Structure 1
Amino acid sequence: MHCWKTINIKREYRTPRLVFYAIIIFILVFSFSFIIIGANRPLIYDAHHFPLFILVCLLLYPLHKLIHYYSLFSYRKSVKLKWRFEFKLIPIVQIRIKKMLPKKRYMFILLTPFIIVNTLLILVAIFLPYYSHYACLLLGYHCGICLVDILYFIHLVKAPKNAVIEETPKGYEILVPPSFSNIPNN
């Protein structure tokens, strides 16, 4: 196998830019979802469960990572979980995969939390209209969390069909069989 491309989103975009993009995504997703979902519902929103909202905000990131982990269930013996703190305050869960994964499987793993959590939040916003403001805030927040996954997904879409993905300290390497190494990448 030959390395077709190495991807490291944090090195490519840097943390401040990723945070800025995540904030923009949060604002846009919240604004549009709140307007669309609340368009035909002139309601008074309920604020009685604000502590529950804060708890869900705190648990959303670990839930996101847990969904990543369970989508890797067939590779569980090759997965290592590690906790660290960013800026000495924000807990970060790292999932390290010690095995090469097929491109399609890796793309599925990247999108699984986005699809599951966002679908649940949209359903909550639709079926519990008095709490739709909380659901729209959580939807925007989760889309911001998914930014890095989506950026990796975009890079993988351009990779050859039979590529495999390997995690290294430098980032994610897209590996292809030797016959693909002579084909120029876009």
Structure 2
Amino acid sequence: MHCWKTLNIKSEYRITRLVLYSVIIFVLVFSFSFVFVNINRPIQYEEGNFLLFLLILLLIYPLHKIIHYYSLFSYRKSVKLKWKLELKFIPIVHIRIKKMIPKKRYMFILITPFIVLNILLLSAAILLPQYSHYACILLGYHCSICLVDILFFINLVNAPKNAVIEETPKGYEILIPPEKFKNF
């Protein structure tokens, strides 16, 4: 196998830029989803269930990681979970896969939490209009969490079809078979 490209989003974009992009995504997604969901709907918003909103806000990140984990299907036995504190106070879960994974499968793993949770949150915003402000805040928050996954996904779109993904200490390596390498 030959390395086609090595991806390390944190070193490529730096943490401060990723945080800035996440905040911008949060504001844009919240603004547009709130306007879209509530257009032509005269609604009284309810302030009740704020504790439930906070609980869901705290659970979105673990749910996101659980969906990643369960979308691995047959690769779950070669997965290692690791907790780490980012910026000394933000708990982050790292899912490390010890096997090489085909490109299409890895893209599926990356995009699954984005699709599943965003559909649930948009459905809640539409079906429960009195709580749509909460659902739109959660949608914006989840989209900002998905930023790194989306950046990886975008980088994988242009990778060769037969590529496989391997995690290394340097980042993610996109590997291609030797016969494919001759064509580049």
- The TM-score, its normalising length taken from structure 1, stands at 0.97
Residue of structure 1 equivalent to 2:124: 124
2: CA distance, partners of 1:88 / 1:153: 28
2: CA distance, partners of 1:183 / 1:155: 20
Q: SS of 1:106's equivalent? A: helix
Residue 139 of structure 2 aligns with an amino acid whose one-letter code is L
2: CA distance, partners of 1:22 / 1:181: 36
- The TM-score, its normalising length taken from structure 2, stands at 0.98
1: CA distance, partners of 2:51 / 2:77: 37
Residue 139 of structure 1 aligns with an amino acid whose one-letter code is L
Residue of structure 1 equivalent to 2:160: 160
- Superposed CA offset, 1:61-87 (max 9, x none): 011000000001211110000111112
**1:182: how far off?**
3.4
1: CA distance, partners of 2:169 / 2:181: 22
**1:180: how far off?**
2.3
1: CA distance, partners of 2:64 / 2:146: 9
Give unmatched runs, 5+ long, in structure 1.
Answer: none
Residue 142 of structure 2 aligns with an amino acid whose one-letter code is H
2: CA distance, partners of 1:183 / 1:145: 37
Residue 122 of structure 2 aligns with an amino acid whose one-letter code is I
Q: SS of 1:113's equivalent? A: helix
1: CA distance, partners of 2:65 / 2:183: 35
2: CA distance, partners of 1:31 / 1:109: 28
Identity of aligned residues (%): 72
Alpha carbon RMSD of aligned pairs, Å?
0.7
Residue of structure 2 equivalent to 1:63: 63
- Superposed CA offset, 1:116-137 (max 9, x none): 0000000000000000000000
**Count of residues paired in the alignment:** 184
2: CA distance, partners of 1:16 / 1:87: 11
Residue 119 of structure 1 aligns with an amino acid whose one-letter code is I
Q: SS of 2:91's equivalent? A: strand
**1:55: how far off?**
1.0
Residue of structure 1 equivalent to 2:76: 76
1: CA distance, partners of 2:134 / 2:111: 23
2: CA distance, partners of 1:52 / 1:36: 24
Matched, 1:53 2:53: yes
